[in-house]
Amino acid sequence: MGRIAQVSDRNLDVVLNFINKQVEKLGTVLPLSRKSFFNYFPPDRTFIILGRTGIESLFAISRGRGKGLATLRVRMYAQNREALEEAFQYVRETALTMEAMYIRTHVFSYADECAWLPELGFRKAATIPRIACLRGELYDLIYYYYDLTEEYDFKIEREYVNEELYETLKVEKKKDARIVVRGLRLGDLEELEWALNHVNVFATLGSGFYEGLVWWDKDRIVKMVFEGKLYPLVAQDASNGRVVGMASLEPLARRPIGDVLSNAYSVALFVAAEYQGIGVGSKLMKELLLLAKRLHARTLTLEVFENNLPALNLYEKYGFVKAGRLPIWVQRGYIWSLKMYKQLHPV
């Protein structure tokens, strides 16, 4: 096997030369600089494989977020199929050391890795069709996963299936609410933090383990809004002034120019427990779709637990369709999430 090395300031120029020869695989047509490289590849989790000809592959690893701790996420780029296989051996060994159940990745349909990954045992999980625009042509974004559950000499799954880890609480619904939707204000963030931490809400989210432990980074949200990296709307109960829900669009593009996902956005939405089931989500979604059109969006995507039927019904009501299933989230036992998308304009 080739020699593995961590990306650092000492070898960054050589790494940039390698990745910029195939920069379109990252989803951009413009070369990376030293500064922009780390927007794609975190310095403490990015590695290269060195062979006789120099760098043969590059990969970045991260552990799944929140309830997705059992999944390892990876991005791998290689000069050929053999180099990708060698990089994957390191990724697989790392995953098995961390007791991961699945490895998850995604690539664009024009990238060579799209053909190589199935040969390494990856399974296609979901496809967002015609979401990426490269030189005037549209391409798919494809999600893959690798199943590790049979590769352990012990039972890797925990016995959660009969446990209610996130038991829903009974709350009194505010059926007399008068809901208005408006843009986010700085003062809204405190109240939204309280709503987000209610067990009925964070049980439906990928983040959050226990009531009060959802980290709501208010400074980061404000920074993202001012940088054009987040477009949030809130629902307010006009009868009492409470802020009771939030919906947002987040650009999928990592760069303001030259990104193949420049007109694609991800959707996030939550509603306070007392206001669920009375139409707040619908009002937020209507206004969010209007906002998306004003942003010249072409495709919207989202991810939702497959057992979250109220949210699933809401998204389908507003034209989102299922793109596939992705592993894996710890709830009551293990459940998968659904990737969904909506094309705002015929293509």
165 belongs to a structural domain? no
Question: Is the pLDDT confidence value at 60 over 70?
Answer: yes
Q: Are residues 142 and 186 in the same domain?
A: no
Q: Are residues 199 and 106 in the same domain?
A: no
Q: Are residues 124 and 62 in the same domain?
A: yes
139 belongs to a structural domain? yes
User: pLDDT tens, 3-28?
Assistant: 999 999 999 999 999 999 999 999 99
Phi/psi at 237 (5° precision)? -85, 110
Name the nearest CA neighbour of 168 among 138, 213, 201: 201
Query: Rounded to an integer, what is the distance from CA 77 to the centroid of its chain?
Result: 19
Q: What is the pLDDT of residue 215?
A: 75
Q: Are residues 209 and 140 in the same domain?
A: no
241 band by pLDDT with thresholds 50, 70 and 90: very high
- The tally of domains found in the chain comes to 2
Q: Are residues 195 and 119 in the same domain?
A: no
164 belongs to a structural domain? no
Last residue of a domain, one of 126, 147, 168: 147
Q: Would you say 249 and 297 are in contact if contact means Cβ atoms under 8 Å apart?
A: yes
153 belongs to a structural domain? no
163 belongs to a structural domain? no
Q: Would you say 212 and 206 are in contact if contact means Cβ atoms under 8 Å apart?
A: no
Q: Are residues 143 and 99 in the same domain?
A: yes
SS3 of 237-260: ECCCCCEEEEEEEEECCCCCCCEC
93 belongs to a structural domain? yes
- CATH (domain of 264): 3.40.630.30
7 belongs to a structural domain? yes
Last residue of a domain, one of 147, 171, 198: 147
Question: Is the pLDDT confidence value at 207 over 70?
Answer: yes
Q: Are residues 46 and 186 in the same domain?
A: no
Over residues 139-147, the mean pLDDT reads 98
Q: Are residues 22 and 62 in the same domain?
A: yes
Last residue of a domain, one of 147, 164, 196: 147
Question: Is the pLDDT confidence value at 69 over 70?
Answer: yes
Q: What is the pLDDT of residue 347?
A: 66
8 belongs to a structural domain? yes
User: pLDDT tens, 317-329?
Assistant: 999 999 999 998 9
Q: Are residues 132 and 238 in the same domain?
A: no
Q: Are residues 257 and 139 in the same domain?
A: no
Q: Are residues 186 and 321 in the same domain?
A: yes
Q: What is the pLDDT of residue 64?
A: 86
Q: Could you check whether the bond before residue 128 is cis, i.e. omega within 30 degrees of 0?
A: no
Over residues 173-180, the mean pLDDT reads 93
162 band by pLDDT with thresholds 50, 70 and 90: confident
Query: Rounded to an integer, what is the distance from CA 216 to the centroid of its chain?
Result: 17
**Domain enclosing residue 109, as ranges:** 3-147
Q: Are residues 91 and 211 in the same domain?
A: no
